Amino acid sequence: MALNTEVQSRLRDIVDKACEDQKSGIPGTTVVVVGKDGKELFAHSAGKRGTGCEEPMTLDSIFWIASCTKMLVGVACMQLVEQGVLNLDDVEQTEALCPELKSLKVLKPDGSLEDKKNGITLRMLLTHTSGFGYTFFNERLKQWSYPVGMDEFSGRFEDMKRPLVFQPGEGWEYGVGIDWAGMVLERATGLKLNDYLTKNIFVPLGIKDISMVPSKDMRQRLAYMNSRSPDGTLAPRDHLLRAPLVVDLENDAEVARIFNSGGAGIFAKPQEYCKVLAVLLNDGTCPTTGSKLLRKETVDEMFSNQIPQFPNYSRQSIPAAKPELTNQIPELYPVSGNPPQGWGLTFMLSNGGPTGRSNSTGHWAGLANIWWWADREKGVAGIVCTQITPFGDANVLGLWGAVEVEIYKALA
């Protein structure tokens, strides 16, 4: 599979044009697309490293990929499920490894708390059916956290401790469940999550520029964080995940205290992330190094709908509980005809869509407006990376859609 020079040129024009307006467009972006054979079909950076910055964005720029971390943690957990170390549906195992889960309360609509009636499993944590939420996506949870508030990006595990917003297994809500899945992994293996990912995913794939604690070199290539005001203009903003960026890398004790967030902790060069997407396209085996991360049937399970009982889960709308972090999201990836929606093990499954992607294409996003997809049927995957808040940025969504349309037209 390859894209001819004409298609490559059209894609570059689409990406360049998205970054032309440095006041109200996209400050800078990197877009990478790969095939099942692991070869890059397209890789291009455009714009600046950040709004108000004169340095160009490059393919070597490092992005905080936020919730794109979740898929990596899903791969790691499923490696341990294959090995018999973890069980997807064993309440006793999950709550023995994380006894904090046993005593959780459930936050009722009237603000009162009730006892948890159901146990929490690893599958619930990976599919957002455990009852955990995010304060920036849930008004009730945000209100509960006052007067102090809560910061999911503080670098502290303590900020993952909160009441549930429904009884485990009885609903779907996007939240910190995969941060808890990361803690299950740490306690089962005795390794910090970043160390496990490095040893069992990144090194076998020859990946160097992905980490939860960026090296000095990665820090020097970090893309800047930007915020878009309600009038559409851009401004620089402080980084949301500061702790791993300011920790003294020479102080092992300090580094060890950084919470390795399974939900949002990874910094990465987009081309490196796409090496993992190529593994998913290739049924669990790296097409370039030959390293086998997962069995095909395990990847099949990850791409199988885990929540058929909630066919409209993302149509419940996500409020802008913290408007500096997210826009209101009426629906995640709407498709004409409103077919049943699916969720795999850590990511959304699309049921077709306007760009030409296959049914059961996996995809997900990161808070700073980063979007990836992996279409196993058509053998193509990619990522569109920016560093803009709030989430759900119309400019970035437009870019992502335009890139996908062009790719699928070329494949057809």
Of the chain, the end-to-end C-alpha distance in Å amounts to 12
Q: Which of 61, 67, 130, 227 is catalytic?
A: 67
Q: What is the pLDDT of residue 351?
A: 87
The answer as to whether 214 is a domain residue is yes
Name the DSSP letter for residue 158: G
| pLDDT (0 to 100) of residue 347 | 98
Note whether residue 87 is domain-resident. no
> What is the reported pLDDT for 124?
98
Q: What is the pTM of this model?
A: 0.98
CA distance 167 to 129: 9
Asked if the structure places residue 24 within a domain, the reply is yes
Beta-strand relationship, 210-211 and 226-228: unpaired
For residues 290, 295, 298, 299, the Cα torsion angle rounded to the nearest 10 degrees is: 30
Cα(302)–Cα(284) distance, rounded to whole angstroms?
11
Residue 285: count of CB within 10 angstroms of its CB:
16
pLDDT tens track for 11-70: 999 999 999 999 999 999 999 999 999 999 999 999 999 999 999 999 999 999 999 999
Encoded amino acid at 88, one letter: L
Residue 245 is part of which domain span?
A: 5-77+191-411
Is-catalytic flag, 296?
A: no
**113 bridge partner residues:** 107
Distance CA 74, CA 82 (A): 12
pLDDT of the residue at 322: 98
Examine residue 93 and state whether it is found in any structural domain, yes or no.
no
Token pair recorded at residue 309: 């009982």
- Residue 343 pLDDT: 98
Question: Over the chain (412 residues), what is each successive 10-residue block's mean pLDDT?
Answer: 94 98 97 97 98 97 98 98 98 98 97 97 98 98 96 97 98 98 98 98 98 98 98 98 98 97 98 98 97 98 98 95 97 93 97 92 98 98 98 98 97 92
Residue 232: inside a domain, yes or no?
yes
ω before 308 within 30° of 0 (cis)?
Answer: no
Q: Does residue 308 lie in a domain region?
A: yes
Among the listed residues 276, 277, 263, 209, the one whose alpha carbon sits nearest the alpha carbon of residue 63: 209
Identify residue 170 by its one-letter amino acid code. Answer: E
- The answer as to whether 178 is a domain residue is no
Residues 6 or more apart from 235 whose CB is under 8 A from it? 51, 52, 226, 227, 229
Using CA atoms, how far apart are residues 368 and 385, in angstroms rounded to an integer? 8
* Whole-angstrom distance, CA of residue 140 vs CA of residue 33: 39
Residue 275 belongs to a domain with what CATH number? 3.40.710.10
Please state, in angstroms and rounded to a whole number, the distance separating the CA atoms of residues 361 and 166.
28
Q: Are the CB atoms for 385 and 30 separated by under 8 Å?
A: yes
Q: Which residues pair with 382 in a beta bridge?
A: 33, 373
> Which of 174, 224, 273, 333 is labelled catalytic?
174
For the chain, how many structural domains are there in total? 1
Is 67 a catalytic site residue? yes
3 near 12, Cβ under 8 Å?
no
- On whether residue 278 sits in a domain, the answer given is yes
- Distance (Å, rounded) from C-alpha 382 to C-alpha 73? 18
CA distances from 25 to 44, 355, 387 (A): 17, 22, 12
Tokens at 285, concatenated: 């085996």
